[in-house]
């Protein structure tokens, strides 16, 4: 099957503006923070849809787009997810995690209590699909973890762009999400992301990001 091509169109800029835009974007993204204190203020459904569709513009292996985004706003369902997540998190904090892992988390002040899963107005549960089912047949997806990881990165930026905040939550194991949300066998949970507005007076840790020298190696 021949590939249909269409003209590519995108704004380009002189070097001086490219530099300016890169600086502005860095400054803008450097203000992004993980937040655990949410306001219960609801988010319009269309805002959430637009955020997710922006995430779905991410590149993927063979353009298979191997992701499903489940949006949970139902109060009872959020409560069930919190209870199941806290059950797994309690086990993690009390035996599953190594001493080194617990030590690395200690300065963040986290524990197995996850009230934000009920307080946040919406939870986005991202599922990865190892294959699709087309006309009753399995069709393999490629580079699934990489593709879904890229989509989640796009998702976090879209959330930040809208003035909202998020938390990337990974209760382990996460299989309870498949059961609670009644997902098909070929979908596996990847991330659980509460989103919303920050609660009034929200505080975050005074963290320092790695420097340019620590994260970039040049080969000229």
Domains, the chain, in order of start with CATH, read 36-197 (3.40.109.10)
Report the pLDDT value the prediction gives residue 1, as an integer from 0 to 100: 63
pLDDT one-digit tens code per residue, 145-194 = 999 999 999 999 999 999 999 999 988 889 999 999 999 999 999 999 99
Averaged pLDDT of the chain: 94
> Mind giving me the DSSP string for the chain?
-PPP----------HHHHHHHHHHHHHHHTT--B---B------HHHHHHHHHHHTTS--BTT---EEEEEE--HHHHHHHHHHHHHHHHHIIIIIS-HHHHHHHHTTT--S--THHHHSSEEEEEEEESEEEETTEEEE-BSHHHHHHHHHHHHHHHHHHTT-EE--B--SS-THHHHHTT--TTEEEEEEEEEEPBPTT-------PPPHHHH-----
Structure confidence by residue, pLDDT tens digits, 9-41: 999 999 999 999 999 999 999 999 999 999 999
């Amino acid at each position: 099957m021949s590939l249909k091509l269409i003209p590519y169109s995108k704004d380009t800029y002189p070097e001086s503006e490219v530099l300016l835009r890169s600086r502005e974007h860095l400054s803008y993204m450097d203000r992004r923070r993980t937040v655990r204190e949410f306001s219960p203020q609801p988010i319009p459904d269309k805002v959430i849809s637009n955020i997710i569709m922006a995430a779905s513009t991410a590149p993927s292996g063979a353009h298979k787009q191997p992701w499903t985004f489940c949006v949970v706003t139902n109060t009872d369902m959020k409560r069930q997810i919190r209870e199941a997540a806290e059950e797994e998190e309690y086990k993690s904090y009390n035996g599953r995690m190594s001493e080194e892992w617990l030590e690395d988390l200690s300065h963040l002040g986290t524990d197995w209590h996850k009230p934000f899963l009920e307080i946040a107005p919406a939870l986005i549960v991202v599922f990865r699909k190892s294959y699709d089912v087309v006309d009753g047949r399995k069709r393999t997806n490629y580079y699934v973890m990489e593709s879904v990881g890229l989509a989640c990165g796009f998702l976090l930026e879209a959330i930040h762009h809208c003035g909202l905040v998020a938390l990337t939550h990974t209760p382990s194991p996460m299989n309870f999400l498949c059961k609670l949300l009644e997902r098909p066998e070929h979908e596996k949970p990847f991330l659980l992301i509460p989103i919303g507005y920050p609660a009034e007076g929200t505080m975050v840790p005074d963290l320092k990001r790695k420097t340019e020298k620590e994260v970039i190696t040049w080969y000229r």
